[in-house]
Amino acid sequence: MASVNAEMPMRRQRRRRGWLLGAAVFAFIAAAGLDTAVVSMGTPADQREAAFDPVGFGNEHFPQIRDYVVDNAVDARMLSEAIDADSSAAAAEYGVSAGVGAIIPVHFTGTVGEGSTGVFNVRVDGLSAGRNIRVQTGPAINGTDLRDATGTIRFGQFTNQIEYQDAGSGINNAMKAAVFEDLDREALSGRTLEVTGVFRLINPDNWFVTPVALEVR
């Protein structure tokens, strides 16, 4: 009888621990439910959760970049003189810092020379001796100069480096659709080309230009 009486408090303690554990689990589930947001398809919250869309990003941002470049483009001869005087000062005055080198918007008209894989030499009168301009016309567009041209698109806006690179590709593709749709690359050599675009100032004597506007004459 004594052993039975001794076991009763132990049973009550086990039941009490079971009740406490159950109450704790219930409270955790309730709190988790309160902290969980239900996202409906098609809502702004749903769009934020969606995967990054480089096509949509490029189509949205390229017109803004094009307008900025057109508004701020420097005549190539004026820019060439400024670079000869002080390349660092020219970069600071006309360009946007972009890590290695500054992205500078430029405008020029010249004669198209030889090309390879869509990149053409363009001879512009009035530039310093030995200064070369190359313009890329696709179909492949290299670099992220368009993405970096305004200084308003930064890595911190993206989830990771892949998205950041995809943003540059999306902008390049939007540019190609807008600028190169009717371009006959096979007939460019010897023609007069008017270009507004950007290049990264690293080597002052070699400008590798990505256009935002291009006219063949």
| CATH number of the domain where residue 167 is located | 2.40.50.420
pLDDT in tens, 156-193: 999 999 999 999 999 999 999 999 989 999 999 999 99
| 45 within some domain | no
Q: Which of 128, 144, 130, 31 is nearest to 80 (CA)?
A: 128
Q: Treating both helix axes as pointing N-terminal to C-terminal, what angle do 54-72 and 161-179 enclose, rounded to 10 degrees?
A: 60
| 42 within some domain | no
The reported pLDDT for the residue numbered 35 is 47
Claim to verify: residue 166 and residue 91 sit in the same structural domain = yes
CB 124 within 8 A of CB 206: no
pLDDT in tens, 192-211: 999 999 999 999 999 999 99
Claim to verify: residue 134 and residue 202 sit in the same structural domain = yes
CB 216 within 8 A of CB 183: yes
Question: Domain tally for the chain?
Answer: 2
Does the predicted model carry a pTM greater than 0.85? Answer: no
CB 214 within 8 A of CB 194: yes
Question: Above 60 in pLDDT, residue 12?
Answer: no
Question: Above 50 in pLDDT, residue 53?
Answer: yes
Residue 176: domain span: 51-216
Claim to verify: residue 12 and residue 87 sit in the same structural domain = no
| 43 within some domain | no
- The one-letter amino acid at 214: L
Which residues have CB under 8 Å from 63's CB, separation 6+?
A: none
